[in-house]
Structure 1
Amino acid sequence: MEPRTDTADTFICAMIPPAHVTLDRREGPFGEVVLRERGEHFEIIANGCFLMDTSDGRSERLLIDAALAALPAGRTGPSVLIGGLGVGFSLVRAAEEERWGRIAVVEREQAIVDWHRRGPLDRISGAALADPRTEVLHTDLLDHLRTTTERYDALCLDIDNGPDWTVTEENGSLYSPTGLARCLDRLTPGGVLAVWSAQPSAEFEQALRNAGFTRVRTEEVAVARGVPDVVHLASKGS
């Protein structure tokens, strides 16, 4: 006798999302960060709020691609500062593109750096971290922008859910007039600022113009439900 297959039960089981498994939980100077595994994907939770996962990296890759495309033609070996290591999609995309010169990544959470260097996320970013162009800076992005004298051809920032919805309150200062002025100052002439956001923001576009940026525009990535993820783009005049 052939084994019985109940297609209705199979369908119901397929519709139930897999339970998550907590792989690591750390308490740091900025609160709690958690790495979870759900099925074949990883999730990062910050202070109890979902931050990102590995299910769809289109917008994180767009952050890098759009910035490179917006740079002036003929610029060789441009440098990029990636704000936030996250699940590694933006870093991997940058390392895949041989046109980038120096690739600096700022990450303030030691736990996230550890998950990439010696943990489960190594399978995503291991090759990119080993790229000789890559440097990981373990510091807060806002502190780095305030203290460094280095200028970059592109700033690709993804440190929160965007200018209108911050997981960590102090991250809001990045999108303030002072924060945007620092971003402008850290760019080379003709350089590009790219900011990831979980939703479009006309107010942020205006804030970029008020800060002195030019060619302000927004590129969208459609999602299955709800408003699209976006990348806000703006250039420094030459």
Structure 2
Amino acid sequence: MTAAHDSSVDSPVVLDRRDGPYGEVVLRRHGALLQIIANGCFLMDTSDGRSERLLVEAAAAVLDGRPDPSVLIGGLGVGFSLAHAVADRRWGRITVVERERAVVDWHRDGPLGEVSAGALGDPRTEVVCEDLVSYVRETSDTFDALCLDIDNGPGWTVTDGNQSLYTAAGLASCARVLRPGGVLAVWSAQPSPEFEGSLWNAGFQQVRTEEVPVARGVPDAVHLAVRPG
């Protein structure tokens, strides 16, 4: 996700509004920007995308040399992470878990296709319309990388149910889904030393945070951690 930015146009225009399983989701156009709003709360827009691209780029760098690594992208959002992964031929299988069918539709048949640029049609891409928290807890599949961007950070979740992802049990589920030596990358609207501690306590190694400066306020952050081999 990414923080809101000013637009030269005063009033956003609602392009679509849906009632989903977790409440209302809205797609708006505000000047040149597309914005996703959930239950009245701004989630993300198409203004930048550097940190969302870093999410998958940093994970790929950790896995450098591993043949055809698989990646699970948690949260389709406006599509920056998926488009960046598809543009990188190092990735093999690319699985996107997105709980809002509306968001998937906005990419397949709507304005967000401008950002994802056909990435959903790439033969490596699979879209799973399911809650990510449930998916990592229940799936029998495994991946070389988990790139998660479903909240504004471990301390600022979109819905209360997402909080469990950042607990010891949630991180254990992430570790179970990762192959040995696999990397967990988590997007956050600000660096979280507390979450770094949680990653260490969960048994991850090589825990670090990469920051992306923004125009105003604290930097966006990508928390990285490696499952022991």
Task: Verify same fold: TM over 0.5.
Answer: yes
SS in 2 for 1:225: coil
Residue 61 of structure 2 corresponds to residue 69 of structure 1? yes
Residue 227 of structure 2 corresponds to residue 236 of structure 1? yes
Q: Which has the larger radius of gyration?
A: 1
Amino acid at match of 1:186: V
Cα distance between partner residues in 1 of 2:139 and 2:162: 18
Q: Name the counterpart of 2:76.
A: 85
SS in 1 for 2:140: coil
CA contact (8 A) 1:216 1:234 kept: yes
How many correspondences in the alignment? 224
Cα distance between partner residues in 2 of 1:94 and 1:28: 27
Cα distance between partner residues in 1 of 2:83 and 2:8: 31
Matches within 5 A, 1:1-238: 16-71=8-63, 73-238=64-229
Following TM superposition, the consecutive aligned residue runs of length 4 or more in structure 1 with deviations greater than 4 angstroms are none
Give 5+ residue unaligned stretches, structure 2: 1-6
Query: Once the two structures are superposed, what CA deviation does each residue of 1:200-226 show, in whole Å capped at 9, x if it has no partner?
Result: 100000000000000000000000000
Q: Normalising to structure 1: TM-score of the pair?
A: 0.92
Identity %: 67
Cα distance between partner residues in 2 of 1:193 and 1:79: 12
Cα distance between partner residues in 1 of 2:177 and 2:42: 30
CA contact (8 A) 2:150 2:158 kept: no
Cα distance between partner residues in 2 of 1:74 and 1:219: 21
Amino acid at match of 2:14: T
Q: Normalising to structure 2: TM-score of the pair?
A: 0.95
Change (3 A) 1:31 1:214: same
Query: Once the two structures are superposed, what CA deviation does each residue of 1:110-150 show, in whole Å capped at 9, x if it has no partner?
Result: 11011011111112214211110000001110111111111
Tell me how far 1:27 sits from its aligned partner: 1.0
CA contact (8 A) 1:163 1:197 kept: yes
Cα distance between partner residues in 1 of 2:210 and 2:18: 34
